[in-house]
Amino acid sequence: MARLTILRYPDPRLHTVARPVAAVDERIRALVDDMLETMYEADGVGLAATQVDVHERLIVMDTSEQRNLPLVLINPEIVARSAEMALNEEGCLSVPQIYDRVERHARVTVRALGRDGQPFEVEAEGLTAVCVQHEMDHLVGKVFVEYLSPLKRDRIRTKMIKKTRDEQRGG
CB 170 → Ni ion: shortest distance, Å? 26
CB 92 → Ni ion: shortest distance, Å? 3
Amino acid identity of 64? Answer: S
Stretch that binds Ni ion, among 57-65, 88-96, 123-131, 158-166 (CB under 5 A): 88-96
Looking at the Cβ atoms of 116 and 140, the one nearer to Ni ion is: 140
Residues annotated as catalytic are 135
CB 117 → Ni ion: shortest distance, Å? 25
CB 93 → Ni ion: shortest distance, Å? 6
Total site size for Ni ion, rule CB under 5 A: 1
Looking at the Cβ atoms of 26 and 159, the one nearer to Ni ion is: 159
3-state SS string for the chain: CCCCCCCCCCCHHHHCCCECCCCCCHHHHHHHHHHHHHHHHCCCCEEEHHHHCCCECEEEECCCCCCCCCEEEEEEEEEEECCCEEEEEECCCCCCCCCEEEEEECEEEEEEECCCCCEEEEEEEHHHHHHHHHHHHHHCCCCHHHHCCHHHHHHHHHHHHHHHHHHHCCC
Looking at the Cβ atoms of 59 and 83, the one nearer to Ni ion is: 59
- Is 92 among the residues that bind Ni ion (CB under 5 A)? yes
Looking at the Cβ atoms of 52 and 92, the one nearer to Ni ion is: 92
Instruction: Find the length of the chain.
Output: 171
Q: Do 110 and 79 touch, CB atoms closer than 8 A? A: yes
User: Per CB under 5 A, which of residues 16..55 are in contact with Ni ion?
Assistant: none
Stretch that binds Ni ion, among 27-35, 92-100, 125-133, 148-156 (CB under 5 A): 92-100
Question: Which residue is nearest to Ni ion, using beta carbons?
Answer: 92
Using CA atoms, how far apart are residues 81 and 93, in angstroms rounded to an integer?
25
User: What is the contact surface with Ni ion in residues (CB under 5 A)?
Assistant: 92
